[in-house]
Amino acid sequence: MSARPGLLECIERYYAAAPLPDARIERAGALDVPVADPAWPYPARPARGSDSRVTVADVRRAVELQQAAGLPAALEWIPECTPEVAGAARAAGLVVEELPLLVADEPVELLFPAGVRLYLVGAEDPELPHYLAVSAVAFAHPGGPADVPATVPAPEPESGPGTAALRERIASGRTVMMVAIERGVPVAVGLHQPVDIDGAVVSEIVGLATTPRLRGRGLGAGIASALVAHARETADLVFLAAGDDDVSRVYERIGFARVATTGAAGPPE
């Protein structure tokens, strides 16, 4: 599926609008830098409507603003729209990744393995810190079923900033969270984040994570499918950035179509 006219522009508008409810936007040359609560940070992005090319100086200034605000240094863009950003980010000392960008085209409804149940998470769910812990472990151990942590970190306290920020977002409708439960234990999670853009709703699927020991059972694909179905009740466009080409192919098998690329840059580890 090639990017139909206006599709990438619509996604760019989404990215520009998403931080506005809870961030102020600083300018760093041709970059917009959302300054928000570090518990829910947003990356810097090329400013919409700017005729200027993103430069090394712009990237360095954006990182300075993020660091001064206690935010992670992070930059995202769509290379098909602003191809110069990758070179500027590398020259500024950041590590650049290019990830597949996909949209929900003809979604396929999937069934979960026997014994797994999917739930929509409410803002007051007392288990929310445990769901966040599933995500933290999954992203810290991306290697598959063999990449199982020796110890599992304790969930964030109820009063922790991540939990509080997510509760507020769920309550306001800016984030929808789903969790897969097996024998009373959360095993996979995922989110979608709808934004109204001049009366048209666009939603991005993010945070898809499965407990490492249970990967390969279709839990991530199942949650993605369920999130698309929920998002499409109101959204005109649903999209996501896949972690790599292998993950992209998984999503393509459940009805996503690759349309472009997402560029992401951050400091070396």
Q: Please tell me the total number of residues recorded for the chain in this structure.
A: 269
Which residue would you say has higher pLDDT here, 35 or 159?
A: 35
Residues 134-146, mean pLDDT to the nearest whole number: 71
The Cα 2–Cα 105 span in angstroms is: 11
- Tokens at 122, concatenated: 């409410």
Q: What is the pLDDT of residues 26-55, one digit of tens each?
A: 999 999 999 999 999 999 999 988 889 999
Instruction: Spell out the residues 6+ positions from residue 182 whose beta carbon is closer than 8 angstroms to its own.
Output: 115, 116, 117, 214
Residue 260 to residues 9, 175, 186, 240: CA-CA distances in angstroms? 12, 24, 33, 11
Q: Is 164 helix (H, G, I), strand (E, B) or coil?
A: helix
What's the start-to-end Cα distance of the chain, in Å?
35
Rg (CA), the chain: 18
* Alpha-helix runs per DSSP H in 5-160: 7-17, 56-68, 85-91, 128-140
Task: Flag whether pLDDT at 148 surpasses 80.
Answer: no
| pTM for this model (two decimals) | 0.89
- Tokens at 27, concatenated: 């300018």
Burial track 125-161 (b if 16+ CB lie within 10 A, e otherwise):
beebbbbbbbbebbeebeeeeeeeeeeeeebbeeeee
Q: Indicate the pLDDT class of residue 143, thresholds 50, 70 and 90.
A: low
Q: What is the pLDDT of residues 93-108, one digit of tens each?
A: 999 999 999 999 887 7
Dihedrals φ, ψ of 214, to 5°? -110, 10
What per-residue confidence (pLDDT) applies to 1?
A: 47
- Tokens at 133, concatenated: 């812990």
The Cα 148–Cα 141 span in angstroms is: 7
Q: Is 132 helix (H, G, I), strand (E, B) or coil?
A: helix
Residues 213-227, mean pLDDT to the nearest whole number: 85
* Alpha-helix runs per DSSP H in the chain: 7-17, 56-68, 85-91, 128-140, 161-172, 219-231, 245-253
**Residue holding tokens 């990215």?**
15
What per-residue confidence (pLDDT) applies to 138?
A: 77
Residues 182-196, mean pLDDT to the nearest whole number: 94
The Cα 78–Cα 7 span in angstroms is: 12
